Amino acid sequence: MRQEIFFLAYHLHWGRDEILGLPTEERWHYVRQLVEQLEREQDMINGAARR
C-alpha cells in the first residue's frame, strides 16, 4: 500500500488522503495505467537513443 501511495503521489502529485479515498480497484487501475504510460515513454526514449 505504501508503494502505491508513493507511486501515485510522486507521479501524479496527489495527496495521501486523496489516494486513500479511492476504492482499491480504482487505485489499482491508476497504478496500472501509470505503469503502462511510463513504459511507453521509456520505450520511446530508448528508441530515440538508438537512432
**H-state helical runs in the chain:** 2-12, 16-20, 24-50
Is the pLDDT confidence value at 50 over 90? Answer: no
Compute the distance between CA of residue 47 and CA of residue 37 in angstroms, rounded to an integer.
15
pLDDT in tens, 3-48: 999 999 999 999 999 999 999 999 999 999 999 999 999 999 999 8
For the chain, the distance separating the N- and C-terminal CA atoms, rounded to the nearest angstrom, is 39
pTM of the predicted structure, to 2 decimals = 0.82
The residue ranges of every structural domain in the chain are 2-50
In 3D space, the residue among 1, 23, 5, 21 whose CA is nearest the CA of residue 13 turns out to be: 5
CA dihedral for 16, 22, 27, 33, sign (positive or negative): negative
Task: List the grid coordinates of 35.
Answer: 505503469
